Amino acid sequence: MLKRNVIILFTLMMSFSSSAALVKFSFEGKVTDIDNIVGSFWDSSVIGAKISGYMIMDTERAIGGREETSYYWWNNIDSDPGALTTFFEILGKSYTLSGDYDYNAMYDSYVTDEFLEYGGGIDEYGDAVPDSFGLKDTEQHETIVNGEETFINKKFAFGISDSLIDFLTDFRPVPGVGEPQPDWLQEILWIDDGTIDNGKSGGGSFDYYETFDDGITSRETVADAMLYFRFNQVSTQQISSVSAPNSVALFIIAAVMLVFRCRLR
């Protein structure tokens, strides 16, 4: 288990730029519902099961976006390398959205489709706007083997808010950037204990879509399924400040793999 987790973490980290401050958004919650629109990707046994995992954000790639108002900022990363990768587990099975497919060489374009939003403060009418943020990660790719094409699109999105406690810092100016930016490196500990009227709301969804084309008949939708969940805890932690070339990172990964291999013998 330790070996697998280390390999997954290093694989996800290799999706990021060679000079980056990385932050880990850890989350825990429960699956609340499923919807198998086509196929039977999800079994009903996952309803009520624990979901846990994390997103890793490259904060350098998250810079940009737009301060729509003094209390709302958003960034749609679509034509550039992505800022997010995702890993989560349900009933012992793991799911991953990496940044390996952000660039589609076949079409010479990015298909990143990430969305970041962040808000809180006072609106134009003097009313309080709850502190909140949301993240959406997407992975889409296609493989062609012997003329048969498989297309997979995965989307993982979540958001949290608190209408009673200001748990986020305000936007801040960043040198060389025209728009104020959120401080994604701030420490966050958001807990929903389930009590009534605690002002907290948090959760999201995972969308899995898969098609198959044998090159002879029409394209077939193999799976179109949604999973919904609520969170009871979200926390952040700065996990790395990478400044070394990627070749050094590759050497470190190789060394770690070698150590594990030797221990297994």
Name the amino acid, one letter, at 168: L
Confidence (pLDDT) at 105:
82
> What are residue 218's DSSP bridge partners?
none
Which of 104, 48, 55 shows the shortest CA–CA distance to 81?
104
Which of 94, 84, 92, 113 shows the shortest CA–CA distance to 12?
84
What angle is formed at CA 60 by the lines to CA 11 and CA 139, rounded to 5 degrees?
A: 45
Confidence (pLDDT) at 176:
87
Confidence (pLDDT) at 246:
46
Q: How confident is the model at residue 245 (pLDDT cuts 50, 70, 90)?
A: very low
Residues 6+ apart with CB under 8 A from 176: none
Q: How confident is the model at residue 215 (pLDDT cuts 50, 70, 90)?
A: confident
CB atoms within 10 A of CB 257: 14
Q: How confident is the model at residue 16 (pLDDT cuts 50, 70, 90)?
A: low
Choice between 40 and 253, residue whose per-residue pLDDT is larger: 40
Local structure of 141: helix, strand or coil: strand
Mean pLDDT of 41-57: 98
59-94 per-position pLDDT tens digit: 999 999 999 999 999 999 998 999 999 999 999 999
What angle is formed at CA 224 by the lines to CA 37 and CA 140, rounded to 5 degrees?
A: 160
Sign of CA dihedral 145, 87, 165, 119: negative
Mean pLDDT of 161-177: 93
* Residue 103: domain span: 2-264
Tell me the pTM: 0.83
Local structure of 62: helix, strand or coil: helix
pLDDT at 235 over 80: yes
The total number of structural domains that make up the chain: 1
Highest mean predicted confidence (pLDDT) among 4-8, 105-109, 160-164 = 160-164
Mean pLDDT of 135-142: 96
Confidence (pLDDT) at 78:
93
